[in-house]
Amino acid sequence: MITGDVGTGKTALAQRFGVDIVREASKRGTNLKYVHINCREYRGSLFLILQQAVSTFHPTFPKRGYSAEELLPMLVQMLDDESAYVILALDEFDSLVEKEGSEAVYELTRLQEARQNKPQRLSLICILRTLKAIEKLDPSTRSTLQSNIINLNRYSKQQLVDILNDRVTLAIKPQAAPEETISLIAEIALSENGNARFGIELLWRAGKYADAENLGTVTPECVRKAVSSIVPAMRKNELTTLGFHEKLLLLSIARLFKESQKAYVSLAEAEQAYTVACEEYSVKANSHTQLWKYLHSLSALDIVKTKVSTTGSRGRSTLIYLPRIPAHELENELKSLLEKE
């Protein structure tokens, strides 16, 4: 069994293993096939899953006329006839559990018990997010499944950066994806439970935005546009509920990102820009402590995010980034709200 959150590489790991072990088996003269089936695509039906597995060996096998109980021994007989072995990887395994329950899973896992002194033709890899999905199975079925478990942890930010950089070398022109842009994508993917798939999708979409705008590089603003195209941007009423000075601070941050095309700005830069905005709107600037509170509130709403940087000669500093909305859109919306006030 392989478990782990979305985007932690469960499917990729199983498929990579499948390619490697089939190649190794071929070197040794063993007829081994790796069959990967997404149970959710087949509505969790054991019949449809086995039908797909059988069609791997006999593409013209009739699609009607047999039950799941008949297909399983037929599959094994085909393997016996061809002196073949199969590793059946059942992705989204929880779909099968939810639809078919203990009986179907029991038949799959205990198949060899009815074949004493015969080769074990069928092996299983079950892929799912958590083991909670199999808690509803009866104890005997559960005990068979839980003998070998690989749990994949969420990726760290550095691992996400490594994965993204690997894709950059394959798909993007040299120097066209700056280090800061990749860092921002990794930061956002990390906030989505370390989802590498989400990060790769962001990189691809950000590259498309850069192409569409004839830019020489994939900028952080391209990344923010990519995020807002995947994850719905914040609702406008979330901005209307902010206090006047919270809006001013957020406007200042948006302007910094729009003008600099940077992925991160420091709290000190934000404070300076906020002071300028206060002069523009003829109001007295609030204290550093109050700004820190505003920043904390904005972060809690997921409008901005912060991280602590330890690089440089001045020790620790707070860095700010926009995770979900393009800077120019945010600036326009805030200017409109502030003018009304």
pLDDT at 313 over 60: no
- DSSP state string for 258-294: HHH--S-EEHHHHHHHHHHHHHHTT-PPPPHHHHHHH
Alpha helices (runs of H) in the chain, residue ranges in sequence order: 10-27, 46-57, 68-81, 93-109, 139-145, 157-171, 179-191, 196-212, 220-230, 236-240, 244-260, 267-280, 288-300, 327-340
| Rounded alpha-carbon distances, angstroms, from residue 103 to 92, 109, 141 | 18, 10, 8
Residue of 249, 165, 260 whose CA lies nearest to 220: 260
In the numeric block, which tokens belong to residue 30? 């063993």
pLDDT for res 176: 97
In the numeric block, which tokens belong to residue 162? 């490594």
pLDDT at 110 over 90: no
Spatial separation of the C-alpha atoms in residues 125 and 116, rounded to whole Å: 22
Spatial separation of the C-alpha atoms in residues 153 and 172, rounded to whole Å: 28
> How does pLDDT run across 148-173, given as a tens digit for each residue?
899 999 999 999 999 999 999 999 99
Non-local CB neighbours of 133 within 8 Å, separated by 6+ positions:
93, 94, 97, 98
220-230 and 327-340 are packed helices; what angle lies between their axes, rounded to 10 degrees? Answer: 80
How big is the chain by its Cα radius of gyration, in Å?
27
Query: Measured between alpha carbons, how far apart are the two ends of the chain, in Å?
Result: 58
Cβ atoms of 192 and 7 closer than 8 Å? yes
Q: Which domains, ranges and CATH numbers included, belong to the chain?
A: 2-152 (3.40.50.300), 157-230 (1.10.8.60), 236-340 (1.10.10.10)
Spatial separation of the C-alpha atoms in residues 77 and 57, rounded to whole Å: 11
Cβ atoms of 80 and 25 closer than 8 Å? no
pLDDT at 231 over 70: no
Give residue 241's pLDDT band: very low, low, confident or very high (50, 70, 90): confident
In the numeric block, which tokens belong to residue 9? 């590489």
pLDDT for res 248: 95
Average pLDDT over residues 25-39: 96
Average pLDDT over residues 188-210: 94
Between β-strands 2-4 and 31-38, what pairing exists: parallel, antiparallel or unpaired? unpaired
What per-residue string of b and e applies to 116-129 under the rule 16 or more CB within 10 Å gives b? eeeeebbebbbbbe
What per-residue string of b and e applies to 15-29 under the rule 16 or more CB within 10 Å gives b? eeebeeebeebeeee
Query: Residue written as tokens 């695509």?
Result: 41
pLDDT for res 311: 61
Residue of 217, 206, 229, 334 whose CA lies nearest to 277: 334
Residue of 251, 243, 240, 254 whose CA lies nearest to 280: 251
pLDDT for res 21: 98
pLDDT for res 144: 78
51-65, 250-264, 313-327 — which is least confidently predicted? 313-327
Cβ atoms of 282 and 248 closer than 8 Å? no
**Mean per-residue pLDDT of the chain:** 90
Non-local CB neighbours of 272 within 8 Å, separated by 6+ positions:
none
